[in-house]
Amino acid sequence: MIDKDKFCELIRANEKAMYSLAYSLVKNDNDAADVIGETILRAYKNIGTLKSEDAFKTWLLKIVYNTAVEFIRKESKVIPMEEVEVTSTKTEHSIETKLALKEAVESLKQPYRTVITLFYYEDLPINEISKITNTTTISVKQQLSRARKQLREILREDFNNE
Amino acid sequence: MNEFDRYIKDAILEAQCQIPDCVKDKIEATLSALPKFENKLDDMGTEKGTVLKFKSKSLQKFASIAACFLFISLAVLPNCSTAYAQALENVPVIGKIVKVVTIRNYFYSDGNHDMNIAVPKIENNKGPATAYINKNVDELTKILADKFNKDMEENGKKGHSGIFVDYDVVTNNDKWFTLRMNVQESAASTNTYYKYYHIDKLSGQIVTLKDLFKTKDFAEVLKDEIRRQMKAEMAKDSTKEYWIDNAEVGKDFIQLDDEQNFYWNDNGDLVIAFDKYEVGPGSMGTPAFTINKDIIEDILKDEYK
């Protein structure tokens, strides 16, 4: 049984993961904060449905993902998933200035941005990512492959200079 | 891990993503506002089940928008009667310890529409009074949840609506038991409702206002006292307004029927409680009037004196 103190401890232990995922989806700190706040409430409300503490992170990130997607749809401020385009101005500017990894990830389309975030930043295995993003492991592998390719292209200069 | 993956991982480690203050603050604020899981005997000896009482900003915001309050109560008879004390020699029909647990929650939230309804159930007793209240509460909460869902379906993403239902055991002693359930509902306009249900533990019966009195003129006695208090309040404070002797609203709005809400306060005095808008404008909230024992002593039944 996870009590309130334990719940708070688990949330704090996963705050970076929550932020990374939420930010990858809403691309805005304030919106990410709102998504995380709502996620915490939902998670707390439904903590009884969590079967094992070991699954907490995946379970929590799934709530973050669903909450963020709802947020995006509701706000209609972000273009439907799969349709987010990399703005050429930003990309060009970013390449010229050897953009940092975070900026490079931010410039990716969805769902690549989220998959990259979960895979690289959160070290989550493919099957866990598929659970969080409500898709199949095959899809995640494809998305990851394409995301890597795009990321590599964006970071070509930096990477080649390594 | 291939070369590129290693490069990315190294870059991530180097960058050490920092969480912005606004996110940190939000997390801490949300965590600090979380309710506790209650699962203990309260002061009244009443066990509450796993109850989540959200006081979070989002729910407070929703509550502030909201509109309908429903209180379901089983009231308490004060220990103010010799006759009643003697009656305690008898074995109570309803046990001293009455447990109230949350058996169900209706929950929904999408930012525009919010629902959080806790459905309590009285346990430990299988008498008709508790069965009646359990059934009533169950039906009532289901109606509120269904109404919320129906309104949401009809309105889609337009507008805001919300309903919040909670409950408290006000009193639970040898003679009387009080469960208070709070429900807030919001839509285009706001309304406030509350209601008290009472059980006399010695008789095992649900008690309504009229059951407390020996005579049928109790309503007039109570109304006279309530009118007096209303007038006194309005004379003392010009911002107060009750709908009595008011040409604009017409008739006297004080109607005391079987559904009238009441409860016993800690001093053993009878309190008559009204819904929002029932006897005055919304700014008056949910007015309640304490009736001094002296005023009703002659007409109260002996067991309730």
User: How large is the ipTM?
Assistant: 0.71
Residue B290 in contact with partner chain A when CB distance is under 8 A: no
Q: Which of A19, A37, A151 sits opposite B30 (nearest CB)?
A: A37
Where is average pLDDT lowest: A47-56, B76-85, B216-225, B279-288? Answer: B76-85
For the beta carbon of residue B91, count every other beta carbon within 10 angstroms. 7
CA distance B79 to chain A (A): 38
Q: Is A3 on the interface with B (CB under 8 A)?
A: yes
Q: Are B76 and B178 in contact (CB under 8 A)?
A: yes
Tell me which of B175, B207, B239 is where a domain ends.
B207
Quote the pLDDT of residue B94.
53
B37 with B91, same domain: the answer is: yes
Domain extent at residue B213: 209-305
Contacts A36 to B, Cβ<8 Å = 23, 26-27, 30
pTM of the model: 0.45
**What are the backbone angles phi and psi of residue B97, rounded to the nearest 5°?**
-95, 115
Of A49-63, A127-141, B48-62, B81-95, minimum mean pLDDT range: B48-62
B110 vs A148: CB contact, 8 Å cut-off?
Answer: no
* Same domain, residue pair B201 and B242: no
Residue ending a domain, among B207, B236, B253, is B207
**How does residue B37 score in pLDDT terms, banded at 50, 70 and 90?**
low
Is residue B16 in some structural domain?
no
Q: How far is A75 from chain B (nearest CA, A)?
A: 10
Please report the pLDDT score of residue A76 as a whole number. Answer: 57
Tell me which chain A residue has its CA closest to the CA of residue B36: A4
Best of B9, B26, B32, B114 to disrupt the A interface (most A CBs within 10 Å) is: B26
Q: Would you say B261 and B274 are in contact if contact means Cβ atoms under 8 Å apart?
A: yes
pLDDT at A82 over 60: no
- Write out chain B residues lying below 8 Å of A30, CB-based: 22
Task: Give the bridge partners for B164, in sequence order.
Answer: B116, B184
pLDDT tens figures, B61-97: 333 333 333 333 333 333 333 343 333 333 445 555 6
Measure the CA–CA gap between B90 and B204, rounded to whole angstroms. Answer: 13
Chain A interface disruption, residue of B7, B23, B56, most A CBs within 10 A: B23
CB nearest B23 (choices: A19, A74, A121)? A19
The CATH number of whichever domain residue B79 belongs to comes to: 3.30.565.40
* pLDDT computed for residue B64 by the predictor: 34
Q: What is the pLDDT of residue B15?
A: 62
Q: How many domains does chain B have?
A: 2
Alpha-carbon gap, residue A117 to A123, rounded angstroms? 9
- Average of per-residue pLDDT across A111-119: 87
Mean of pLDDT over chain A: 77
Report which residue type is found at B66. A
Q: What is the pLDDT averaged over residues B127-137?
A: 87
pLDDT tens string B211-229: 999 988 899 999 999 999 9
- Provide, as residue numbers in chain A, all residues whose Cβ is less than 8 Å from the Cβ of B164: none
Q: What percent of chain B has pLDDT over 90?
A: 10
Mean pLDDT within B125-131: 80
Contact assignment for B111 to A102 by CB distance below 8 Å: no
Domains of chain A (ranges plus CATH)? Answer: 1-78 (1.10.1740.10), 82-162 (1.20.140.160)
* Residue, of B289 and B143, whose pLDDT is higher: B289
Alpha-helix residue ranges (DSSP H) falling in B56-202: 57-65, 82-87, 128-155
Higher pLDDT, residue B243 or B13: B243
- A115 pLDDT more than 50: yes
Residue ranges of the alpha helices (H) in chain A? 4-13, 15-26, 29-45, 56-75, 88-96, 101-106, 112-116, 126-132, 137-154, 156-160
Partner A, chain B 146-205, Cβ-Cβ below 8 Å: 157
